[in-house]
Amino acid sequence: MPNYYQALGPYPQLLKDQVDMFTHVMFVERSLTRETKRTDRAGRQRNQSLELLSGCTSRILGRLGFDKAFARKLAMNFESAPVEPKLMALFKFLAKVSRQPADIVREDFDTVREAGWNNEEITEGVLVASLYACANRFSAAIGLVADF
């Protein structure tokens, strides 16, 4: 069992809530495909300043069928990964959501919309980014080591 879930073990309802939220956000397709959500997550892992997470992300993407070189590039520096411009616009916006949420301005939304994303897709992307930001902050604050 991953360290993250073990840390929540003494709080069964919180653990259940976390698992349920992750499952509903990441595995239920709404506006964004599961692949888009997974690659966005991978692209932002590098920004958590935890190199171990980048290695884990590369392995996870490899298991999901992504080319090893692409997975590594995405995990280590998403801005240099060979993804279509529309997807890159979303990744850059969500990186700002993760790193500098207080600095988001209307122009940021306009840029993502101009790239071809609608409000529902943007909202779902923000939810994915926020979910992982919460997990990363919790993990860092209590000193968890990535083990997945």
* 91 within some domain: yes
Angle at 22 between CA 19 and CA 27, to 5 degrees: 120
| pLDDT tens-place string over residues 73-117 | 766 777 877 778 988 898 889 888 888 889 999 999 999 999 999
CATH code of the domain covering residue 7: 1.20.1290.10
CA distance 104 to 86: 19
| pLDDT tens-place string over residues 19-32 | 888 787 777 777 77
* 147 within some domain: no
Give the pTM: 0.70
Name the domain count of the chain. 1
Q: How confident is the model at residue 70 (pLDDT cuts 50, 70, 90)?
A: confident
3-state helix/strand/coil string of 8-54: HCCCHHHHHHHHHHHHHHHHCCCCCCHHHHHHHHHHHHHHHCCHHHH
Task: Show the domain range for 106.
Answer: 3-141
